[in-house]
Structure 1
Amino acid sequence: MDVASAPRKGSPEGAAGQRGGGPPGPGRGGLGVADIVFFVVSAAAPLTVMAGVAPLAIGVGGIGAPVGYLLACATLALFAVGFTTMSRYVRHGGGFYAFITRGLGRPAGFGAATLALLAYNGMQIGVYGLLATGTQDALRVLWGVEVPWPVIACAGVFVIWFLGCRSIEFGAKVLGVLLVAETGILALLAAGVLLDGGARGLTWDSFTPDNVLTPGTGAVLAFAFAAFTGFESTAIYRNEARDPHRTIPRATFIAVGFLGLFYAFSVWIVIQAFGSDRVMRAVTDDPLGLFFTATSQYVGDWAATLMHLLIVTSIIASQLAFHNAINRYGLSLAKEGVLPEALGRVHPRHRSPYVAGIAQSILALLVVAAFALAGADPYQQLLLWMNTPGMIGLLALQAITAVAVFRHFHRIRHDEGRLRTVVLPLAAAVLMAGALWLVISNIALTTAAPFTTNAVLVLSVPAVFVLGVLLSLRTRRSRPEVYEGFAAEPPEASSSSSSPRG
C-alpha cells in the first residue's frame, strides 16, 4: 500500500522506536545527544574550516562574511524542522536514502544511496590530502622534519581504521576530547581579542547592510554551506541512539545551531583582531596564516604552535566521523542485499561494522596510492578533486530530502501541522537548490581547476544518481525480493509507517 496509518503526533514510539529501524546492526542504545552532536560537529572540522577556509570566504565576501554562515545556518535549520519531524516516521537507520525512498519511491532511494556512497567517500578520502599537508606543516614548524605526504596519508588511513573498528561509544569519547580541544583554542583567541578590544575597538561593521549585500555574498554562501558537511549523521546513528524519538531532533538542532553561531562568531573575531579596515590586506598577504597570526598576537606564540597540532587532530576527528558514517551506510545496504553480505558483519566485541571499515580503508589506500603515483598535489588535487563531488552530492541529497519530506506527508494520514510538513520543507527545498546553484556556479573558487575538470567533478554527481536509479530497475527485475525490502521498516514498525512507492 502507498498509504498506511502513521503514528500520531505525540504518540509513543513503542518497541520499534526504542530499537530503531532497518536491519540488525551494531550495539544499540549507547549514544546520547552529546555523543551524536560530537559526530556531526567533528565531521565539519570547525578549526580546520576556520583556519583553512574562512580567510578565503573573507577574501571574496569582505567583512560581511560572518552573515553568510548565519544565513547557511538558518537555511539548514528550516530543513531540520521537516527532517526531524519525518524522523519519527522513518525508523530505518539508512539516513537520507531511507527518507527519500519513503517520499519519492525506491528508484530515487537507490539513486540517493549510491550518491551518498560517492559523497561520503569523496569527502573522507579527499581529506587525507589535507591531513598530509596539515601534518607536514606541523612537523616542519615544530621540529623541522620533512615527511613525504603519501607516508602521512597512509598512516592516517591506518589510524582511522583502528579507531573506527572500536565501539561507537569509544569513537564518541575520542571525538569529544578532540572537539573540545579544537574549539578551545579558538575560544582562547576570542577571549584575547575581546579583552584587548581588537585592533580598532570592537565594531559591528560585519552586520551592516552595506557590507552584507555585496556581489561576493553568493561566493561566501558557497563556502558557508560546505562548512556544515556531516549533517546527516544524526539520522545515521538512529539505531545506536538512546530514545531516538528525542535524541535525533535535539542533536540535529544543537549541532546546526552550534556550528552556525560558532562559525559566524569566529570569523567576526578574526576580523576584529586585524580591524575592519585592515583585515582584507592581511587576507591578501597571507590567507592561510590569518588565524595563526592573530593567535600569536592576542594569546601567544605557544598558542599558535598548539594550533598547528590541533588542526591535525581536527582533521583526524573529521575523518573518523565520516568513516563511521560510511561504514553504517555499507552495513545498511549490505543487510538489505544491495551490497555484498560480508559488509554487514558486525564485530563480536566492539559491535562495529568492521568489515565495511576494512573495505573503506582499502579503498582509501588505493585512491591515495593512485594520486601519489600520478604525482598529484595532496591539497590542490587529492583534497579538492575528491571533496568537490562529495560536497555537491551532500547538498543535492539535502535538497531532494526536503522534497521527499513534503511528498511523504502529502501521502499519509498524520496530525502534524502544515508549517512543518508543507511550508518549511518546500522553503528548504528551494533554498537548498539555491545553495547548490551557488556552490556549482562558484566551483572554480574551491577547486582552482580548469573548466573541463570542474565539469567532470560536477557531472559525476547526477551521473552516479542516475546509475543508482538504473540499478534499482535492474534489481526489480532480477531480485524482486531485494527491491521490495529496500529501506523497508522492520516488521514491528510496518503497521505505523507508509510503504515506499515502487
Structure 2
Amino acid sequence: MTAPPSSRAAKGLSGGAVGTGDLVFFVVAAAAPLTVMAAVAPLAIGMAGRAAPLGYLVSGLLLIVFAAGFTAMSRFVRNAGAFYAYIGRGLGRPAGAGSAYVALFSYNAIEVGLLVAFGWFTESGVADLTGVRVAWWIWALAGLVAIGVLGYRKVTFSAKVLGVALALEVLVLLVFEAGLVAHGGGPRGFDLGTLSPAHLGGEGVGGMFVLAVGAFVGFEATAIYAEEAREPARTVPRATYIAVAFLALFYTVTVWAVISAYGSDRAQAVAAGEGGADMVFAATERFAGAWAADSMHVLVITSAFAATLAFHNGAARYFYALGREGLLPRRLGTVSATTRAPATAVVTQSALALAVVAVTLLSGADPYTVMFLWTNGSGILGVMLMQALAALAVYGFFRRERRGMPAWRVVAAPLTACAGLTVLIGLVCANLDLLTGASGRVNAALIAPLPALFVTGAVVALRIRRRDRRAYERLTTTDAEHG
C-alpha cells in the first residue's frame, strides 16, 4: 500500500488548473485598474494634462512589444520563478539568481504595501459610509487572514475571487463612462485632440510616464502560473496579450473620459488643485449619480484587496521556486498535498506581511504616504528592472538558435523593449520622488537594495557552483521544458 501523500511528497503545483481567463484575472486584478484610475490617474493628469491618455497607451504598446519576446520564451521555459528562469536561461545562472532575489523583494514589497493600503482605504471608506471608524491595522490584519486562507486553497478559488472583484471595479468605471456618453461629454464634448501625439512633448511627461508604466506592473504574472496553466504554450501568450491590451485600452479611454468630463482646458488645473485626488469620484457622481460614486468608494477597497491577493500569490510562488532550487531554504519548495498550493511559502509570505503591519503600527509611520508609497516605489522599480533584463535574456536565449521563431519576435522586439524599458527606468529613478513623496536620501535608500540583492544572488549561485556542480546545473531548469 502507498503512504498518504504529505506536503513534502506532493509532486508540485497543480498542473492544468488555470486557463486563459484565470490568468487574465490574476494579471488585471494585480494592476488594480480602479485604484489606478481613481487614485493615481489624477496625479498623471496633474503632471501632463492632455498627454496623460497617450502616456498610458504608449506604455502599453511598449509592454506589448516586450510581451512578443517574453511569450516566445514561455514556449520553452515554464517555471514559477518566471523572471529568474528566463534571465538565468538567457543571461546565465548567476544573473538569474541575482534577478530572483530582486524579484522576490519587489513582489513582497508591493504586496505588503498594498496590504497596508487596503487597511487605510477600508478605514476611511467605512468611516465615510457608516460613520464608524475602525483602525486601519485591524482591517489590514483581517485582510491578511483572508488572503492567507485564499492563498492556501486551490489556485482556482483565488481566480474566482479575483474575477468577481475585477468585474465589479471595471463595471463601475464603465458606468461612469456610459453616463458621460449619455450627457454628450463634458463642457467641450469629447475632445479627440487630447489624443494627439504632439502633447507628448510637453512638460511633466517624464513624471507622468513613471505613473503610467507603474500601472501595468504585474502583467508578467502569466508566466509565474505557467506550471499551473492548461496548455501553457497557448494560454500564457494569449493571456499576456489580452491582459496588456485590455489595460492599455481601458486606461487610455478612462483617462480620456476623465479629462473630457472636466474639459481638456481645465482638467489639468482641477487635477493639480485641492480637490484633484477626488476628481474621478466627483465626475462619477455628476455623470452617473451618487450611488455610482458611493459604489466606487467601496470598490476601491475590493480593488486593493484583489491586487494584494494577486501579488501575494505571485510572491509565494517565487518563495516556492527559489526554495525548490536551493536558493532559499528547501522547505519553501513544498506544496500542500490537498490543495497543491505552495503551503510553506504562503505561510512565510503571510508572516512577512504581518511583520510589516506591526512595524508600521509600532513606528507610527503613515500607512499610505510612507509604507504604501515607499514599498511600491522600490517594488515597481525592481519589477521594471527585471522586465528589462528579461527582454535582454530573450535575445540571449534565441541568439544561437531561433527555434523556429521569427527574427522580429526574438531579436527586434526584445531589444527594442529592453531599450525602451531602460529609458523608463532612468525616468523612474530621476523622478522617484513623484511616487514616494520622499527626500533624495530616502529615495536612494529605497533603490539601494536592488543592486545589493542582485549581487547577493549572483554570489550565492557562484558559491553553489563551487560546492555542487550538479546543483548549479539544475538552477533555472526545474519544471522547465527544453526546446
Q: Same fold (TM over 0.5)?
A: yes
CA deviation string 1:311-332 (max 9, x = no partner) = 0100111011111111111112
Q: What is the aligned counterpart of 1:449 among 435, 438, 441? A: 438
Q: What is the aligned counterpart of 1:265 among 253, 272, 276? A: 253
Match of 2:213 in 1: 225
CA deviation string 1:178-224 (max 9, x = no partner) = 00000000000000001101222111131124433212111111111
Match of 1:8 in 2: none
Match of 2:243 in 1: 255
CA deviation string 1:243-282 (max 9, x = no partner) = 1111010000000000000001110111111111222232
Q: Distance in 2 between matches of 1:329 and 1:412?
A: 29
- C-alpha contact (below 8 Å) 2:115/2:140 kept by paired residues: yes
Match of 2:397 in 1: 408
Q: What is the aligned counterpart of 1:29 among 12, 16, 23? A: 16
Alignment of 1:83-482 (within 5 A): 83-200=70-187, 201-283=189-271, 284-412=273-401, 414-482=403-471
Q: Distance in 2 between matches of 1:345 and 1:100?
A: 23
- C-alpha contact (below 8 Å) 1:406/1:425 kept by paired residues: yes
- C-alpha contact (below 8 Å) 1:185/1:307 kept by paired residues: yes
Q: Distance in 2 between matches of 1:362 and 1:92?
A: 24
Match of 2:7 in 1: none
After TM superposition, give the deviation of residue 242 of structure 1 in Å: 0.8
User: Where do 5+ consecutive residues of structure 2 fail to align?
Assistant: 1-9
After TM superposition, give the deviation of residue 58 of structure 1 in Å: 0.3
SS of the aligned residue for 1:112 comes to: helix
AA partner of residue 138 (structure 1): G
Between 32-41 and 122-131, the greater mean CA deviation after superposition: 122-131
User: CA 1:419/1:195 → structure 2, altered by over 3 Å: closer, same or farther?
Assistant: same
SS of the aligned residue for 1:285 comes to: coil
Q: Distance in 1 between matches of 2:92 and 2:109?
A: 26
Match of 2:6 in 1: none
- C-alpha contact (below 8 Å) 1:221/1:435 kept by paired residues: yes
SS of the aligned residue for 2:79 comes to: coil
CA deviation string 1:20-71 (max 9, x = no partner) = xxx9422111211111000000000000000000000000011220000000
What TM-score does the superposition give when structure 1 sets the normalisation length? 0.92
Q: Distance in 1 between matches of 2:468 and 2:327?
A: 10
Q: What's the Cα RMSD here?
A: 1.4
CA deviation string 1:409-431 (max 9, x = no partner) = 11335222211111111111100
User: CA 1:24/1:82 → structure 2, altered by over 3 Å: closer, same or farther?
Assistant: farther
Q: Distance in 2 between matches of 1:448 and 1:198?
A: 34
Q: Distance in 2 between matches of 1:126 and 1:479?
A: 37
Q: Distance in 1 between matches of 2:365 and 2:203?
A: 34
Between 115-124 and 23-32, the greater mean CA deviation after superposition: 23-32
Q: Distance in 1 between matches of 2:155 and 2:72?
A: 25
SS of the aligned residue for 1:411 comes to: coil
1:70 aligns with 2:57: yes
- C-alpha contact (below 8 Å) 1:90/1:489 kept by paired residues: no
After TM superposition, give the deviation of residue 72 of structure 1 in Å: 0.3
Q: Distance in 2 between matches of 1:316 and 1:326?
A: 15
AA partner of residue 448 (structure 2): L
- C-alpha contact (below 8 Å) 1:403/1:426 kept by paired residues: yes
Q: Distance in 1 between matches of 2:221 and 2:370?
A: 26
User: CA 1:398/1:24 → structure 2, altered by over 3 Å: closer, same or farther?
Assistant: farther
After TM superposition, give the deviation of residue 435 of structure 1 in Å: 1.1
Between 27-36 and 182-191, the greater mean CA deviation after superposition: 27-36
- C-alpha contact (below 8 Å) 1:338/1:482 kept by paired residues: no
After TM superposition, give the deviation of residue 151 of structure 1 in Å: 1.7
- C-alpha contact (below 8 Å) 1:98/1:487 kept by paired residues: yes
Q: Distance in 2 between matches of 1:198 and 1:228?
A: 27
After TM superposition, give the deviation of residue 299 of structure 1 in Å: 0.9
AA partner of residue 394 (structure 1): V
After TM superposition, give the deviation of residue 293 of structure 1 in Å: 0.3
- C-alpha contact (below 8 Å) 2:46/2:269 kept by paired residues: no
Q: Distance in 1 between matches of 2:226 and 2:59?
A: 25
Percent identity, aligned pairs only, is: 45
AA partner of residue 172 (structure 1): A
Alignment of 1:40-79 (within 5 A): 40-79=27-66
Between 292-301 and 87-96, the greater mean CA deviation after superposition: 87-96
Q: Distance in 2 between matches of 1:93 and 1:285?
A: 44
Paired residues, what number? 472
CA deviation string 1:362-389 (max 9, x = no partner) = 0111111112111100011110111111
- C-alpha contact (below 8 Å) 2:47/2:268 kept by paired residues: no
CA deviation string 1:417-451 (max 9, x = no partner) = 21111111111110010111111111111111111
After TM superposition, give the deviation of residue 481 of structure 1 in Å: 3.3
What TM-score does the superposition give when structure 2 sets the normalisation length? 0.95
User: Where do 5+ consecutive residues of structure 1 fail to align?
Assistant: 1-22, 498-502
Q: Distance in 1 between matches of 2:277 and 2:290?
A: 16
CA deviation string 1:318-372 (max 9, x = no partner) = 0111111111111122221222222222122222112111110001111111121
